[in-house]
Structure formats: C-alpha cells, structure tokens
Chain A
C-alpha cells in the first residue's frame, strides 16, 4: 500500500518534526497571524494550535496533526493569489497516499455513462482543451471557531481559504467524451484518501449534473502555474468555482455519473445547512430534504487584511485599509468601509478584476481628524444585491460565517 519513498519520508518527518522537538520549542501562534480571530476562538484551540510546517509547506497554523488541518495566516491574504506553500490544508481522513503521477488513473463510469473511460495525467494534458480559472477555495467551515455558541468541528479562524489560478480540463469535456445518458442526475467524485477504521465512510461527494457541465468546473492539475502540492490534491483535484471546498475533491481517482441521488454520509448527513436561512441561488435539489439542503455557493464576504487589531497610528498619518472581497461568482459590486463602527460608510476602491470566482482586492485611505479609537469595518455587496450580515446566522455545523469584519485601531 505505502510506497517505499513514502515510508522513508514519513520516518524522516518523524525524526525532524516529531520526537526530537521538545514541547517548549513548539512555536506558539503569534496572535497577529490569526487576525481578530484571536478574540473569538475557543480557549482550547488557542492553547493547542501551533505554527508548524508540513513537508513542502511554510509554517501554517496547525489545528490538528492527523488528519492534517492547517490554516493560512491572515498576512498571506494581502496578496491576490495565495502562495501554494502557504495554502491551507484540510483533510477528513488520515490515510493520505502520496500519489504517483506516472501510475495515477482517473476512471469515469456509473450507470448514466455511455462509454466508461480511464484517463492518465498525460491524457488529461494532451487530449483535452487546457483551461485556467482564478477561484477562491473556501472551506465551508471557515471561521467556524468564531461561532457563538461554539460548535464542534475544526475551529477555523479566517484562514481556511485561499485564492489560486487553477489549470486543468473542463469536467464537461470529459463527461461529453464519455457520453451522458438522458437520466444522468449527479456526478459522484472520490479521491485517494481513506479512513483508518474499516467503518469510516470514505470521503465521497456528488454535484448535480448541471454544475458538473458548467464550463468553469474543472479537473485541475496545476495551481498558480505549478503542479498541485501534495497537500492540496496532487496530481489532480476537482475545482468547483463558486461552491465551497467540500466539493473540491483532492487526489481525484474516480468520477461516476449516476441516475439516483448519491446517499453516502458526506452528502446525506454532513455538509448540510438549514433550509431558508441563507440566500442561496444555486440549490442542489436532488439532495434537498424538508429541513435541510447541501451547502453549495460561497456567501458574499470580505476581510480586512493589512491592519492589526489595536494597531497604533500617529495623528496626521494617512491610514490605508486593505482587504479582499468574494462571493459565489455573482461579481463583487462594491465594498464599503466604515471607520466609525458602522455609523457611516464610504466606498472602497476595487483592485484588478481576475474574474468572477477570484477574490478582489480593495483599498480605502483616510486621515483621522482626531485622536482616539477607530472601529474599522468592511462590507461587500455583489451584483445581485447580496451583502454580509451584522448578526451571525448560527447553524449547528458552523458554516457560512460572513459577519462583517471589524478591527479597532488607535490614533495617538
């Protein structure tokens, strides 16, 4: 099962990052790396999380070792595209094989496929049109740690997300090559990672056929111009722009087109949101019940990235507020900034547009007229009128936190 190389690498990790490191030397997470999340995360999270580097990655905020869950420090979000080696890592299952690209195969099958196929990485790169899309990859539970009351799960702060240029082939082109039957309903996707206990449900997700046929939905083998890092799905992963990362299956191995709703645990029970609580346009109707529905689109959201909570400025100094805004692909229309705790709002200047699924940078500059504390807030609105909330829309699994971000600064 495990390759020799993998074993050698694992034992190497063991001696470098494991047993030989005294506990006192483990890097505590500098609160600045967490942004304002430091004020809201559970105490236990703040105590246990450390700054730790996975092989090939920069030190990230380790939430859990196994399965590996590592958050990107907020400072990286000052860049439009999140560097691959700082991109967050999220796994549900801890058997994560290091896939050999030379022997890797992607199978396309299912009861609603005309001609089942098997493709190599070379096939993907040579037999289909190559496309690239800039898109935010955002964990459904990003900011879960900020839920009040807290809910169990990975206690993410702001950094279970990243923005990248994903290159690969359209899922639509693969499916058309295989041929869909008229009764095709969902496309079921599985990756190489598995659980440890025999009874652990494999992490398998489905998307509606219409979303699979969207020209932006791709099987990506490159991220920001480089092969996908192991921890982000090497050699290929599903990219579903506009939808949360739960569907972006890493180390993809199989695609099945089926005529009935897929009823595995990760669809039927997990990753569900209560009905009618969130403004959702793209619904996954074949999976919807009378009380809940699978999470789909990313909610409109924004983050202040350059200021630190409590940061001090001199009176007379020009203050720049910088951040990012994103949504499920409806285009960010405006970002408003308040410097007085929400009493008045001014429009920020939007940065370069990298496409509807990328996040967009924004800037706002102001010169405070007097000394004191300034409460800075940012609020994004998209072109279909959706905007962020001031009051948390609490839900039991802790998804879709898009409460307006607030930072206090001092002018002295």
Chain B
C-alpha cells in the first residue's frame, strides 16, 4: 500500500481542486489540458525515463488520435467512441510499424529519426487540405456522450480528463513495478547487459514505444472532442519538444515527476500571458537551466531534498535509527 501513497495524494489533489476552487479557470479549463498533457508525458516517460529512448516526435501520436477522432466523426459520421477506438488502433498500427526500425537506432540517430517521423506526420495533416482542412484545421467536432450523458461542460470534462489521466498514472505505476518494468530499467542501464541476462530488448522497447503512443493517441482523441476544433499547430515539432521538456522538467524515470512537469509547463504560458512575447525566450531558458543545473529534474531533485531533510531530522532525534 505504501507504494501507492503518492497515488492517493494525487487523487486527493485532483478531487479537491474543483471543490476548493469551484469554477476556477485554472482548475476546470487549464486543468483539463494539464490532464491530457500529463497523460502523454507519463507515457513518454515510460519510454524516455525508464527505457532511455528519446522521442522527438510524440506529438505525431497525439495528432493521430486527434485527427482520427476529428475526421471520422465529422466526415464519416462515426460514433465518437468508435472513432476513439479507431484512433487508438491507428496509433497502434503506426507505432508497431515504425518502432522496430526506429528503435534499432541510438542516441542522436534515434533523436533525428523520431523528429523526422513527427514532421512527416505533421505535414500529412497540413497538406491534404480537402480532407484535413489544411492549416485552418478541422472544426465542429462533436463532444462525447457517456450513457446518454453529454460531456459538455468544463467540470464534466475535468472529471473525464483527470479520470483518464489517473488511470494512465495507475497503469504506468503498475507497469514499472512489474517484471517488464525491471526489464525496462535493465535496458536503460546497459542494453548489452540486459540482453545477456535474457531480456528480449528489441521486443521490450517496441512494446513500451507502442504503449506510450497509445497514451498519446488517447489524449489526442479526447482533446479533439473537448476542443471541438483541431489544427496542425497543436501537433507540431514544437509540441513534441514541449512533451520532452515535461518529462525532463519533472525528472526522468519519475511518473509523478512527469505529471508535475506537465502541470508546470501547461500553467507557464497561462501565467506568462502578461509577458506574451517573452514566452518563447523563457521556455528556452528553462530548458537550458534545468538541464545544466538540475539534470535530474525539478521534481526528483526537490523530493530528494525533502527526503534528505526528513532523514537528517530523524537521525538527530533518534541516533539509533541510522541504517
């Protein structure tokens, strides 16, 4: 149970926020975006933080989910849930297809390949104007209905988005503590070493890539229905970078860190509206600063500090507790 203490705190935060601040813009509107971003970041963290494989193209999977939902519901008149499933299926197929050749690459080559993949998918959203609406995007995407109950208000979306996010966090925590999680960390430590110990590294990397793609696609589908409008800008290279920053800002290989990073990075532009033209500059400075001074990430560094302080307090009050 102790293992999931952090999870209970997160659930409490999510549930209490709209009760303490009812109708607050930062909770019910920005909160939904945070939940979507956190879901993607938690998935990406499985790939980057635990398996050590960088992806500079995860916005593509977010986009595949969003455009599948958007196109199938508006052009083909599909049921929204069916469209969401189709989006997941599409992301799964694409991920499965590219994962094997892409994950054979390492370091800078992997970065370049995922980046190229993301840009290609983004261009496929912009160019076929007659289907996707081109740079202007796709409008009038219907909202979701759950057993005849339309998810049509901010607070309802808050419930759905955070619910799905919590589910994602729960899945990720369980995955990390499973045998697969141990294998992942072995791959991160040393691929050759992991292979020697009998880990099928190629299969495990592909699996995690697919899981992270599905997290992103799910967030994408929900995002499309929640916004009612999507355009290629939301799925560009820039967003892929922001996703990486969320993971890194929190601290790699920390699921709560990914949630924290997503929250900070989503809130940042909202609070910087006053300095709108400084937003790009500040984002760049944060990326450099964190990596130079806190390479372990803000969340991980902070929680280590807290643990240290607690530990030192304990040892001064109870000298026999040193272990």
Do the two chains bind?
no
Task: Tell me the A residues contacting B by CB distance below 8 Å.
Answer: none
Task: Tell me the B residues contacting A by CB distance below 8 Å.
Answer: none
